[in-house]
Amino acid sequence: MATLISRSIKGFNSFLTKTCNYLPQGSPTNAVRFNWTTSNLSTWQNFLVLWAPLFLLYDNRKESYTTAVKNKLLGIIGNAVTYARTNKLMELVRACASLNSDDCAVFGLPAKLAITPISTNSAASLAKTKGKEKTIITEESVYPKIIPIGGGILHIKAYLEKVQSGRPHKPEGYDELEYAIGVFYSTATGLPVSPDDPRLTKDYSTKSNFKLLTSAIASNLTAIAAGSATPLKVAVIFFRWAKSKHPTLDGPWSVAFTTPVL
C-alpha cells in the first residue's frame, strides 16, 4: 500500500504537502481517525520540515538547483516510503472505519472505497451560500514560491496547489491571501507547526505576487551573547486563501514553509 506514495519529486511534494495539511484537521483529527500514533504524525510532519527548504532550491532551476539537492530529496522520498511501509501508515488509512471521499482524494485511494460520501470535519468539505457566494472548498491549498532577495525581504508568489506555476493568482471568489509568519534563528528548536502558534504574526495581502518585509518581525529573535556569531535567520510561513467579507469560507491553511531570510 506504500505504493500510493509518488516516487517522483513533484508528485511526492504534492502528496506530502496535502497529507501533512490534512492529518491535523478535524475533531477528532484525521490522524486519530486513521489510528496513527503521535509518533507517526510527528515523524511524517518532520519529513516535510526536511523537505520544504530543499524543494524550494530544487524548484528554482535557474539559481539554486543542483544534483546534490535532487539526491537529498530522493533520499527523503525513500525514507518516507520505508517508514510508511514499516508502520503500515497507508494500510491504516484504508482500514479507517469512517473512510470518506475527502480521505480518498487526499491519499489517492479509489473513491469507491469511501464508506461515507464526504467528511464533516475537513476543510475539504463543501461550504455553500446563496448567489454569488456559492463556493466549493476543496483540499486545494496555497502553493507558494518564496524567494529571499536580501534586506529581509521575501518575494512571495502564490499559486493554486494544482497548478504550481504560471501566473500567480487567487482562486475565483477569493480576494485575499492570508499568511501567518514568524522569523527565527536557524539554531532555534521547536519551530511552529500550526498557523495558530502565538509566536506567529497574521496578516493579509490583496495580491498573490508581492514583496514581504520581515525586518519588523523580530519578537522571536533572542539576544546573542557578546562575541558570538549571529546565526542565519529563517522565516516560517503558513498561507491560505481568504474572503474579506465571508471569513467563514476561508480556505484551508497550508503546511509550514521555511525559507532563509537574507
Q: What is this structure's pTM?
A: 0.56
**How would CATH label the architecture of 131-261?**
Sandwich (2.60)
Spatial distance between the Cα atoms of 37 and 244, rounded to a whole number of angstroms? 37
Q: What is the b/e burial string over 52-79, where b = at least 16 CB atoms within 10 angstroms of the residue's CB?
A: bbbbbbbbeeeeeeeeebeebbeebbee
- Looking up cell 491519499 gives 107
Task: Please state the domain extents for the chain.
Answer: 2-113, 131-261
**Alpha carbon of 39 to those of 26, 32, 137, 221: distances in Å?**
18, 12, 30, 29
| Tens of pLDDT, residue by residue, the chain (262 residues) | 445 788 999 889 888 988 887 888 888 889 999 999 999 999 998 898 888 888 888 887 777 888 999 999 999 999 999 999 999 999 999 999 889 888 888 898 888 888 865 544 444 443 333 444 444 444 567 888 888 888 999 999 998 877 777 788 888 888 999 999 999 998 888 888 889 899 999 999 999 999 999 998 989 998 888 888 888 888 999 999 998 888 878 888 887 888 888 8
Dihedral in degrees, nearest 10, Cα atoms 76, 4, 41, 197? 80
CA distances from 59 to 5, 55, 56, 95, 198 (A): 20, 6, 5, 35, 31
Under 8 Å between Cβ of 108 and 90 = no
